Amino acid sequence: MNAELPPLRVRTTFFQRERRSVQLARTFAGETLDGWSLAGRRDDVLLCVSELATNALLHGVPPGRGYLVRLALHRGGVLRVEVHDSGSGVLRMPEPSADEEHGRGLLLVAALSDKWGVGERKPGKVVWCEFALRGVTAPWRA
């Protein structure tokens, strides 16, 4: 992906710090994919949105704040999912034991996406992942 070029399509929305926001973020992502006629890797994208939104809700959003979800389709058929939150902290890849019920969200994101990472923002951070989508053609090419 050429970061210097603007994305072809972008949708962004903000979610309040509430439990139902994870499902709302997943619905937002599904409706965006449908609107852009992107069916490839849908389940992977939606699961990663759920995991990143859950992490933002549990670890990155102080009381009274919320988080932003951004989906951007770039040239070459690369879909980038970003979750922006205002919490501090550095993400680390967890090493949960076999009997732990939590702690696998980032492992799933790393396994399902083509790339993922964390960037800084003021305040907070942005956690992102990217998916190469096959067969994305006109009208997406600029």
- CATH value at residue 120: 3.30.565.10
Domain range for 61 is 9-132
Q: What's the CA angle centered on 91, arms 86 and 95, to 5 degrees?
A: 145
Q: Give the chain's radius of gyration (CA, Å).
A: 15
pLDDT at 137: 56
Domain total of the chain: 1
Nearest to 29 by CA among 92, 81, 95: 81
Question: Could you tell me if residue 140 is inside a domain?
Answer: no
pLDDT digit string (tens) for the chain, length 142 residues: 555 678 999 999 999 999 899 999 999 999 999 999 999 899 999 999 999 999 999 888 888 899 999 999 998 899 999 999 988 766 665 565 555 555 567 889 999 999 999 998 888 899 999 999 976 654 544 3
Residue 84 maps to a domain: yes
| Cα–Cα distances in angstroms (integers) from residue 117 to residues 20, 87, 90, 106, 107, in the given order | 25, 16, 11, 10, 12
Domain-located, residue 137: no
Residue 141 lies in a domain: no
- Chain-centroid distance, C-alpha 56: 10
Give the predicted TM-score (pTM) of the model. Answer: 0.85
pLDDT given for residue 97 in this prediction: 56
The answer to whether residue 90 sits within a structural domain is yes
Cβ within 8 Å of residue 8, ≥6 positions away? 73, 74, 75, 140, 141, 142
> Does residue 2 lie in a domain region?
no
Within-domain flag for 121: yes
